[in-house]
Amino acid sequence: DTLWFWRPCALFFGFVFFIRWTKQIQDYLDEVYSGKSVERLNAMLRLVQIFSAKLVLEVFGGAGAIWGFSEAVTLRNPDTVWFWRPCALTFGVIFFVRWLMQIQDYLVEMKYNESVDRLTAKAGETEELCCTTSDEELSENGLSYNSIRAA
């Protein structure tokens, strides 16, 4: 009875996984042959690549595991669907909240990594300037010892 609804849903998620799979192959080939790091991709693109699979596998899979297992061990039947549907939905909600927390952690980590990269680049600039011992060389660059030390 619900085939008209679930067939397009399955096709959509199959298409999402296919696109994700082709992007993984592209990332692998780029990393192997051109040395381009996957970690340097656009953060939002990387987020979609990682968490689209996690949504299907961990969130929907967690709820579906409860639903399917209850049927496989014959606990779920037409008389007990009233009990198992809320159980599966509860697990789905728990795993959905977990998924949202993982996204939040990922975004915090990305901001941290960007900050570390900026500080490392800044430290690299100041190390080059610290190698110059002459006050004249520093003033030619518009810097003083105190400005380098503050950086």
Q: What is the pLDDT of residue 66?
A: 95
Using CA atoms of 66, 72, 78, 82 in order, give the dihedral in degrees to the nearest 10.
Answer: -20
Confidence of residue 144 (pLDDT cuts 50, 70, 90): low
Tokens encoding 17: 């996984």
On whether the pTM is more than 0.85, the answer is: no
What tens digit of pLDDT does each residue of 97-117 get?
999 999 999 988 888 877 887
* 43 band by pLDDT with thresholds 50, 70 and 90: confident
Query: Quick one: the chain helix, strand, coil %, rounded to 5?
Result: 85, 0, 15
Interatomic CA distance for residues 78 and 113, integer angstroms: 52
Residue 81 has pLDDT above 70, yes or no: yes
